[in-house]
């Protein structure tokens, strides 16, 4: 098969944790608690989630208000410097950079979570359909998935974004999410197929359990392990992809509600003279993406005893 | 082997067929429909009517799809409406593609040349400083957006230190001869060594930036594969019968560990093209990245369509080559 390669890698991941049961979950947690990689990742995410929750009270200024506007001169491209009450200075429109960073965490985490949930939901439908029915349904769904996987993810996101007349935060989320649908779909299908052949499913079938009950109560719960790992990693990918779209000028047009990717994309024209406008949001993106990656990787290790990392 | 190849080629045709169907649906779903998509928003009513008749939009949908295929087969993807107004979309793409390909190939070579040896060494000395350092970098590297890393490199090495060029593919004053569109290759072919060197120097920063993610992936897969293979019975047997360590490493360990690595390299094609699109923007390289960004902003759908189709074809073709190369690596597959 042409795309055999990618398929086999995702399937391999699928099979690696398909035998997970409740006892594995318990032992996985025991391993996680002692894993420094997990602890560092969880700490990073915990801090940023707390910051996002507390942002409205912590932010010293309104992130949308051009408080320092009088200091900004378009002709000389001046950026308001660090000053009393503005610990990071202003941005190119005279808004408080610190407040925008703080509140940006809300929007960025929202983008990550929504994109992952939508991508996972779509992949769930595809994967369960293909994995549960098998046969020609499986072939049709998987060919469609192959085609989606053959378009580079960024270009796929761009072409989805193009379908909307104007760009908003939601269209960005949707574009980032749809890219993940085939990946989740293939992963779930693989785990579901592995479940189909397993003894407990055969036993359930022999007992005359209804097919829908087999799919949703016997196959799906056991197939979720690798999907949870993938979802954690996708949280990081979604933030970076959204930033990439903004960087290409395909981000949300309205920037009154700050988002890190958008801030980074908006700073690209003045990065040579005022790198701090790019470095702060980029630093935040890298930290949060790293946090999700570390948690995802350690989850993968914990769920798969065979893996040596 | 022949049957294997033919079967894979047939699947390639299938993928391209489905992709064309999706592209056709995409063009119809675009805001304003295919006419606006092809002509832009500011087209005169006459031009719209003419194109509608020309595209046969009054005809049944399958006839329209067939016409779309016919035009695509002859390389007619419409006329650029924004990137290079009036030029054929295919030409707009073809002029820019060599720059992107050159950058991607260099980045991939770099990632392979560093990733495989490092992965192998890290596996041999598991838990050593090299292993820990490489693993840390491969985790951090994935979290850094490619274009930001490109900015950082440009800021440090081009703006602050001034040791490498900050933008473009070659100094404009060079007046180098163009043969293939790949500037380094052109310089070598025409024996204009300074032109080749100049183009190469321009490639260093973008290629380093672009190679980080493929490097991280190739490194980790190589390391995992070598660790797996070192545990295999045949390696223990080879050791037990007293083969030289060098021979075991080369013929038994490295050779068998290469299969997943080669697969991974093929799968990096898509990420590489996407990363190139972003890197090109930072370094002002006139490749397809520019066409994508400008094409989207100016709603140049004919050009976007060619880019999407071509990127998918490149991905599928590279993975076809990867699949076929398995036969070279693994003799067991040849007999199938």
pLDDT tens by residue, B237-257: 888 888 887 778 777 787 778
Is the pLDDT assigned to residue B46 strictly greater than 80?
no
pLDDT band at B274 (very low <50, low <70, confident <90, very high): confident
Is the pLDDT assigned to residue A16 strictly greater than 60?
no
CA distance A308 to chain B (A): 8
Cβ contact, residue pair A250, B18, below 8 Å = no
Tokens of B84: 């290079």
Q: Which residue of chain A is at minimal alpha-carbon distance from B137?
A: A290
CA distance B282 to chain A (A): 9
Q: What is the DSSP letter of B178?
A: P
Which is more confidently placed, B190 or B31?
A: B190
Confidence (pLDDT) at A309: 40
Chain B residues within an 8 Å CB radius of A152: 269-271, 273-274, 277, 311-312, 315
Tokens of B315: 């991905």
Cβ contact, residue pair B15, A143, below 8 Å = yes
A280-294 residue pLDDT tens: 888 999 999 999 999
Q: Are A41 and A291 in contact (CB under 8 A)?
A: yes
Which is more confidently placed, A308 or A113?
A: A113
Q: Are B201 and B195 in contact (CB under 8 A)?
A: no
* Interface-testing mutation among A6, A7, A154, A308, with chain B (most B C-beta atoms within 10 A): A154
Tokens of B112: 């392979």
Is the pLDDT assigned to residue A306 strictly greater than 80?
no
Confidence (pLDDT) at A305: 53
- How far apart, in whole angstroms, are the C-alpha atoms of residue A233 and residue A116? 9
- pTM above threshold 0.80: yes
Burial B130-165 (b: 16+ CB within 10 A, else e): ebeebbeebbbbbbbbbbbbbbbbbbebbeeeeebb
In the numeric block, the tokens 């990245």 are attached to B289
**Interface contacts (A, B; CB < 8 Å):** 157
Whole-angstrom distance between the N-terminal and C-terminal Cα of chain A? 30
Q: Are A297 and B139 in contact (CB under 8 A)?
A: yes
CB-closest option in B18, B31, B139 to A147: B18
Q: What does each C-alpha distance from B46 to A13, B36, B53, B170 come to in angstroms?
A: 56, 13, 11, 44
* Interface-testing mutation among B100, B134, B143, with chain A (most A C-beta atoms within 10 A): B143
Cβ contact, residue pair B274, A155, below 8 Å = yes
Q: How many residues does chain A have?
A: 309
Average pLDDT over residues B71-93: 80
Q: Are B204 and B266 in contact (CB under 8 A)?
A: no
B162-213 residue pLDDT tens: 777 777 777 776 666 777 777 777 777 777 777 777 778 788 889 999 998 8
Q: Are B139 and B213 in contact (CB under 8 A)?
A: no
Cβ contact, residue pair A278, B227, below 8 Å = no
Cβ contact, residue pair A293, B139, below 8 Å = yes
Nearest to A20 by CA among A307, A266, A267: A307
Cβ contact, residue pair A1, B11, below 8 Å = yes
Q: Is B148 helix (H, G, I), strand (E, B) or coil?
A: helix
Chain B residues within an 8 Å CB radius of A5: 263, 266-267, 319, 322-323
- How far apart, in whole angstroms, are the C-alpha atoms of residue B73 and residue B124? 51
Chain B residues within an 8 Å CB radius of A156: 308
CB-closest option in B18, B151, B227 to A144: B18
CB-closest option in A2, A6, A290 to B15: A2
Confidence (pLDDT) at A3: 45
CA distance A166 to chain B (A): 10
ipTM of this complex: 0.80
Cβ contact, residue pair A285, B322, below 8 Å = no
Chain A residues within an 8 Å CB radius of B304: 158-159, 162
A214-227 residue pLDDT tens: 888 888 887 788 88
Percent of chain B residues past pLDDT 90, beyond the cut:
4
Q: How many CB atoms lie within 10 A of CB B50?
A: 14
Q: Is B230 helix (H, G, I), strand (E, B) or coil?
A: helix
pLDDT band at A120 (very low <50, low <70, confident <90, very high): very high
pLDDT band at A11 (very low <50, low <70, confident <90, very high): low
Cβ contact, residue pair B308, A146, below 8 Å = no
Chain B residues within an 8 Å CB radius of A6: 267, 319
Cβ contact, residue pair A244, B278, below 8 Å = yes
- How far apart, in whole angstroms, are the C-alpha atoms of residue B229 and residue B248? 11
**Burial group, residue B57, by CB count within 10 angstroms (0-12, 13-18, 19+):** middle
Q: How many CB atoms lie within 10 A of CB A228?
A: 15
Confidence (pLDDT) at A37: 85
Confidence (pLDDT) at A113: 93
* Interface-testing mutation among B7, B81, B136, B148, with chain A (most A C-beta atoms within 10 A): B148
Q: Is B278 helix (H, G, I), strand (E, B) or coil?
A: helix
Average pLDDT over residues A293-298: 88
Nearest to B69 by CA among B129, B40, B27, B107: B27
Cβ contact, residue pair A236, B316, below 8 Å = no
Is the pLDDT assigned to residue A1 strictly greater than 50?
no
Whole-angstrom distance between the N-terminal and C-terminal Cα of chain B? 7
Tokens of A152: 């580079």
Q: What does each C-alpha distance from B284 to B83, B109, B291 come to in angstroms?
A: 15, 22, 12
Cβ contact, residue pair A271, B155, below 8 Å = yes
Chain B residues within an 8 Å CB radius of A161: 296
Is the pLDDT assigned to residue B106 strictly greater than 60?
yes
In the numeric block, the tokens 């949707």 are attached to A174
Range B313-316 contact pairs with CB under 8 angstroms and sequence separation of 24 or more: B313/B16, B314/B269, B314/B273, B315/A150, B315/A151, B315/A152, B315/B269, B315/B270, B315/B273, B316/A2, B316/A3, B316/A150, B316/B12, B316/B15, B316/B16
Cβ contact, residue pair A146, B297, below 8 Å = no
pLDDT band at B114 (very low <50, low <70, confident <90, very high): very high
Tokens of B298: 């100016």
Chain B residues within an 8 Å CB radius of A272: 155, 159
- How far apart, in whole angstroms, are the C-alpha atoms of residue A38 and residue A292? 9
**Mean per-residue pLDDT of chain B:** 80
CA distance B188 to chain A (A): 31
Q: Which residue of chain A is at minimal alpha-carbon distance from B131?
A: A309
Confidence (pLDDT) at A114: 93
CA distance B187 to chain A (A): 31
CB-closest option in A9, A152, A297 to B139: A297
Confidence (pLDDT) at A2: 41
Nearest to A107 by CA among A243, A308, A286, A271: A243
- How far apart, in whole angstroms, are the C-alpha atoms of residue B267 and residue A5? 7
**Mean per-residue pLDDT of chain A:** 80
**Three-state secondary structure string covering B140-181:** HHHHCCHHHHHHHHHHHHHHHCCCCCCCCCCCHHHCCCCCCC
Cβ contact, residue pair A162, B11, below 8 Å = no
Which is more confidently placed, B114 or A167?
A: B114
CA distance A154 to chain B (A): 6
Beta-bridged to residue B88, according to DSSP, are B79
Is the pLDDT assigned to residue A64 strictly greater than 90?
no
């Amino acid at each position: 098969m042409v795309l055999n390669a990618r398929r086999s890698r995702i399937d391999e991941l699928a099979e690696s944790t398909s035998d997970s049961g409740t006892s594995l979950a318990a032992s996985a947690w025991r391993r996680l608690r002692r894993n420094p990689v997990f602890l560092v990742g969880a700490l990073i995410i915990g801090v940023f989630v707390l910051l996002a929750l507390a942002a409205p009270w912590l932010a010293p200024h309104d992130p949308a208000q051009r408080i320092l506007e009088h200091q900004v001169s378009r002709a000389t491209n001046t950026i308001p410097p660090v000053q009393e009450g503005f610990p990071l200075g202003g941005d190119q429109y005279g808004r408080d950079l610190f407040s925008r960073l703080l509140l940006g965490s809300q929007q960025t985490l929202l983008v990550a979570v929504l994109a992952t949930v939508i991508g996972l939901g779509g992949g769930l439908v595809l994967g369960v359909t293909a994995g549960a029915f098998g046969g020609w349904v499986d072939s049709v769904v998987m060919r469609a998935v192959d085609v989606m996987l053959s378009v580079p993810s960024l270009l796929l996101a761009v072409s989805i974004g193009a379908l909307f007349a104007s760009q908003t935060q939601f269209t960005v989320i949707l574009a980032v999410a749809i890219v993940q649908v085939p990946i989740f779909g293939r992963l779930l299908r693989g785990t579901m197929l592995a479940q189909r052949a397993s003894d407990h499913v055969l036993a359930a079938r022999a007992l005359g359990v209804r097919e829908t009950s087999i799919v949703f109560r016997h196959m799906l719960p056991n197939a979720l392990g690798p999907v949870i790992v993938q979802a954690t990693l996708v949280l990081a990918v979604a933030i970076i992809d959204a930033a990439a779209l903004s960087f290409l000028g395909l981000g949300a047009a309205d920037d009154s509600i700050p988002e890190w990717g958008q801030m980074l994309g908006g700073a690209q024209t003045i990065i040579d003279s005022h790198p701090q406008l790019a470095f702060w949001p980029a630093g935040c993106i890298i930290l949060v993406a790293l946090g999700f990656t570390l948690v995802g990787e350690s989850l993968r290790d914990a769920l798969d005893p065979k893996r040596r990392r | 082997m022949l049957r294997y190849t033919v079967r894979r080629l047939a699947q390639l045709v299938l993928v391209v067929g489905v992709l064309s169907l999706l592209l056709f649906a995409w063009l119809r779903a675009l805001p304003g429909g295919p006419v606006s998509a092809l002509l832009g928003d500011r087209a005169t009513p006459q031009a719209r009517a003419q194109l509608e008749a020309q595209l046969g939009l009054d005809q049944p949908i399958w006839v329209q799809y067939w016409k779309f295929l016919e035009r695509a087969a002859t390389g007619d993807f419409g006329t650029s409406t924004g990137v290079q107004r009036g030029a054929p979309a295919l030409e707009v793409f073809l002029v820019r593609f060599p720059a992107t390909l050159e950058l991607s190939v260099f980045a991939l070579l770099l990632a392979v040349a560093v990733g495989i040896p490092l992965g192998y060494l890290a596996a041999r000395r598991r838990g050593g400083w090299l292993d820990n350092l490489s693993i840390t970098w491969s985790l951090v590297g994935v979290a850094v957006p490619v274009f930001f890393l490109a900015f950082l490199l440009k800021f440090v090495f081009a703006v602050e230190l001034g040791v490498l060029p900050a933008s473009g593919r070659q100094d404009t004053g060079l007046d180098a001869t163009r043969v293939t569109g790949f500037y380094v290759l052109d310089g070598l072919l025409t024996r204009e060594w300074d032109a080749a060197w100049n183009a190469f120097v321009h490639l260093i920063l973008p290629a380093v930036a672009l190679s980080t993610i493929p490097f991280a992936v190739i490194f980790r897969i190589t390391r995992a594969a070598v660790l797996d293979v070192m545990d295999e019975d045949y390696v223990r047997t080879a050791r037990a019968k007293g083969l030289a360590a060098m021979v075991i490493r080369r013929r038994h360990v490295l050779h068998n560990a290469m299969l997943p690595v080669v697969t991974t390299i093929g799968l990096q094609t898509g990420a590489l093209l996407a990363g190139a699109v972003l890197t090109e923007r930072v370094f002002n390289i006139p490749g397809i990245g520019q066409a994508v960004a400008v094409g989207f902003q100016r709603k140049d759908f004919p050009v976007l369509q060619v880019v999407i189709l071509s990127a998918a074809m490149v991905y599928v073709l590279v993975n076809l080559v990867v699949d076929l190369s398995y036969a070279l690596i693994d003799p067991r597959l040849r007999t199938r």
